[in-house]
Chain A
Amino acid sequence: MASSMLSLASTSPSSSLSLSDNWKVKTKIGGFGNAFVKTKSFGRTTMAVALNVSRFEGITMAPPDPILGVSEAFRADTNDLKLNLGVGAYRTEELQPYVLNVVKKAENLMLERGENKEYLPIEGLAAFNNVTAQLLFGADNPVIQQGKVATVQGLSGTGSLRLAAALIERYFPGAKVLISSPTWGNHKNIFNDARVPWSEYRYYDPKTVGLDFNGMIDDIKAAPEGSFILLHGCAHNPTGIDPTLEQWEKIADVIQEKNHIPFFDVAYQGFASGSLDEDAASVRLFAARGMELLVAQSYSKNLGLYAERIGAINVVCSSSDAAARVKSQLKRIARPMYSNPPVHGARIVANIVGDPALFKEWKDEMELMAGRIKGVRQKLFNSLSAKDKSGKDWSFILKQIGMFSFTGLNKSQSDNMTNKWHVYMTKDGRISLAGLSLAKCEYLADAIIDSYHNVS
């Protein structure tokens, strides 16, 4: 038997291909059963052989991602008037992607230096980890001076959140994460895949198109002691609604009261107000109280480094010893995920933030980008107020902050925006102002007014 099996195996490629074609029987084996079937004899030997039936026969198509899927749909649209207000990627007034000048300078510096491409350590580039923590907390912050922050480079915001989620799952089994209602769509996916249970706290109040502060406080209070509270550091995504400093103080109070752990997602530092320091105020407020906290950062938007996947997870601990231990465990989670993080984006950030001249240039560019968005908000508000005769209050557009605006449009109305007006946005009514130009504000106002009033 063995020799005939061997000789069958060593037939020339073309003939074995045709043999396997013959073996491709159309019988349904049943989704996940093993593909072990008897075939007919081929004259040499009769034996049971496997078919070309995939083990993954029953796999269905995954739903398109609600955010990234929007851009795909936009690309497929051939209409001239189309407008992409889906994904939060900054565009210039000409609606072109924008590479910051500081980034170009940093990359040229790196090219000249001709640095090598060796593996980073698991925790990432040390220079990057230092500057990113300093940027977030302030270089003279005691938590940094005292070595109480465990910082690990992560794959932008997503990857950093995922590391933290895995840490929670491992060391706080059963602990829940509370996320705002609504929140960035991928938050749920991250905690689901990390097997961390989550529930929502009230956040957005559709009646005021503002913050449901009492609801938020009540829900945080009601959560089991020792829950993780996911907070957006600034420029809440998708609503653009941020608590005031006074409200942050009260949020911190109730979190301390209930022994919860604050968990910040900071994806827009600099993009909210235009000032990097101002946008870090909420995080610094919590750190100043001596609280332990988790903070995920991303440089996708504020440095335009979207595709480089550069961010960090920071864990502020009550001692440097705890920070060292936590860092070691974060590394242990990262190793079987991707071994060590990509170097390119980390070097760009380290070069920019570490050089006073480049850092200043960045701050200036940051102000310009945030300024453009504020300008667009104003124009959109003006257009809506002028065109809409119903007396509806559109001022929430000015009160909201950052890249996004929660229009208050429901799913059908959002669909109308797309189907009738070729305006692409997410179904929760979120528009990305970063994708809007002054020139298109009037058109958008028309679309919003029509969708709001004529569609239910």
Chain B
Amino acid sequence: MASRAILQSRQGISVISGARWMSSWWKNVEPAPKDPILGVTEAFLADPSPNKVNVGVGAYRDDNGKPVVLACVREAERRIAGNMKMEYLPMGGSVKMVEETLKLAYGENSDLLKDKRIAAVQALSGTGACRLFADYQKRFKPESQIYIPVPTWANHHNIWRDAQVPQRTFHYYHPATRGLDFASLMDDIKNAPNGSFFLLHACAHNPTGVDPSEEQWREISHQFKVKGHFAFFDMAYQGFASGDPERDAKAIRIFLEDGHLIGCAQSYAKNMGLYGQRVGCLSVVCEDEKQAVAVKSQLQQLARPMYSNPPVHGALIVSTILGDPELKNLWLKEVKMMADRIIGMRIALRENLEKLGSPLSWEHITNQIGMFCYSGMTPEQVDRLASNFHIYMTRNGRISMAGVTTGNVGYLANAIHEVTKSV
């Protein structure tokens, strides 16, 4: 039979009868570079030093450096355990969870909600929400680009790239002041072609922790109107920035007041500690209910060949908590506690550095907000922190304040001082 005779494989190597050796299809597959953020944790885990500190990935830790499961989450899980399992969620996910989630972003009494003008689907946390939107943008505005702030969460670039939406950048962070480069930001908004798509961090900008002030947001919103730009908000830290979810949604509310039809990605990874559950939401504000129904159907159409329908467990936790006033209050308290601890650590880190007599200014540690501090350290300094002090952070100098504790803040300050004092 022909198949048993000598065959020529594509690489020109003979396969002798009886032998089944084949050269691999995957010869051309190179090892992928390590993910810059998640790779940090891998390196940390591999380090045997007892003094090691992980201020890399943005996952909240308590003052003992331990992961936290919120009490409201434990209670919700207790309630849902063993309940009749829902079968496949609809493609758009849990309706109840989405409803509650929209209230958080848009306001409990939002007219947009009453008028059913928001197309919304449950998404795979913030990443999934951004990706769905990027794919949607590609499909329905194929000639558009996305303007992304510099810097931003690294995965934003991956997301819009894999969705094949061309990217441009706009000025955001001002290295000299370690604050917002507002003038350049406004210039970029003005100079972008009318009707451009912009990615904005609603609060607690990642990685810089630098947010526009309320006044600045109003100006941005206004200029967006002049230019007819589309605002896509990535809100991954609602509640985590100030401790108050309503306050953290201010930027979005300003845009809504001004009549913008925005898009929004929301995540419960940090503010409910549901990291591994992958719970989030993508919403797109529409002109009317009819359009919202159409847009939602198209979002579902994009989700179906990606994962069919989203996972239920995390969604059930969220809807159980937000649907019960007592649990919701408990959650609000716990979120505030997490935010307060971080604010406390910011103060402590700054004070420690100042006490050590650092020649540099560390004001930005307490000026910045949310989980991250953009320290201003160079990649070389970051590398030295790892090799000499077993302190792990991403090479852009971003410190996850959630990883700082009363136990390690002194050590951390000392190490930072050591690598920066001779600058």
**Chain A residues engaging chain B, CB cutoff 8 angstroms:** 5-6, 8-10, 13, 16-17, 19-20, 23, 32-36, 47-50, 52-57, 59-62, 65, 68, 72, 87, 89, 97, 99, 103-104, 107-108, 111, 114, 116-122, 155-156, 158-159, 162, 171-172, 186, 189-190, 192-194, 225-226, 253-254, 256-257, 259, 261, 289-292, 300, 304, 306-309, 315, 317-319, 322, 324-326, 328-329, 331-333, 335-345
What residues on B are CB-neighbors of A87 within 8 Å? 88
- B284 proximal to A (CB < 8 A): yes
| Among listed B293-301, B340-348, B397-405, interface-contacting one | B293-301
What residues on A are CB-neighbors of B32 within 8 Å? 325, 328-329, 331-332
**Shortest 8 CB-CB contacts between residues of A and residues of B:** A34-B195, A20-B259, A343-B276, A307-B312, A155-B307, A336-B158, A338-B124, A189-B305
- B323 proximal to A (CB < 8 A): no
A336 to B161, CA, bound (A): 9
Contact for A108 among B81, B277, B291, CB less than 8 A: B81
- B6 proximal to A (CB < 8 A): no
- B59 proximal to A (CB < 8 A): yes
Contact for B38 among A121, A259, A300, CB less than 8 A: A121
A392 to B348, CA, bound (A): 83
Q: How many A-B residue pairs have CB under 8 A?
A: 298
What residues on A are CB-neighbors of B143 within 8 Å? 32
What residues on A are CB-neighbors of B277 within 8 Å? 117, 342-344
* Residue ID in chain A nearest B218 by CB atoms: A9
Residue among A194, A315, A340 with the most chain B CB within 10 A? A340
A34 to B2, CA, bound (A): 62
Within 8 A of A (CB), among B35-63: 35, 38, 42, 57, 59
* Residue ID in chain A nearest B162 by CB atoms: A336
User: Are the C-beta atoms of B307 and A309 separated by less than 8 Å?
Assistant: yes
User: Are the C-beta atoms of A186 and B305 separated by less than 8 Å?
Assistant: yes
Interchain residue pairs with CB less than 8 A apart (25): A36-B194, A52-B259, A53-B287, A68-B90, A104-B82, A119-B38, A156-B308, A158-B304, A159-B308, A171-B26, A189-B305, A259-B9, A289-B20, A300-B88, A307-B89, A318-B21, A325-B31, A325-B32, A326-B26, A335-B127, A336-B155, A338-B125, A338-B131, A338-B307, A342-B314
Within 8 A of A (CB), among B227-251: 227-230
What residues on A are CB-neighbors of B259 within 8 Å? 16-17, 19-20, 23, 52
Q: Whole-angstrom distance from the CB of A116 to the nearest CB of chain B? A: 4
Q: Contacts A56-B291, A336-B158; is A318 near B222 (CB within 8 Å)?
A: no
Interface footprint category on B? 35 or more
What residues on B are CB-neighbors of A99 within 8 Å? 84-85
What residues on B are CB-neighbors of A340 within 8 Å? 38, 276, 278
A19 to B258, CA, bound (A): 9
Q: Whole-angstrom distance from the CB of B60 to the nearest CB of chain A? A: 10
A49 to B227, CA, bound (A): 7
A72 to B128, CA, bound (A): 25
User: Are the C-beta atoms of B158 and A309 separated by less than 8 Å?
Assistant: no
Contact for B226 among A50, A55, A317, A326, CB less than 8 A: A50
- B275 proximal to A (CB < 8 A): yes
What residues on A are CB-neighbors of B311 within 8 Å? 155, 307-309, 342, 344-345
Contact for A111 among B24, B25, B81, B295, CB less than 8 A: B81
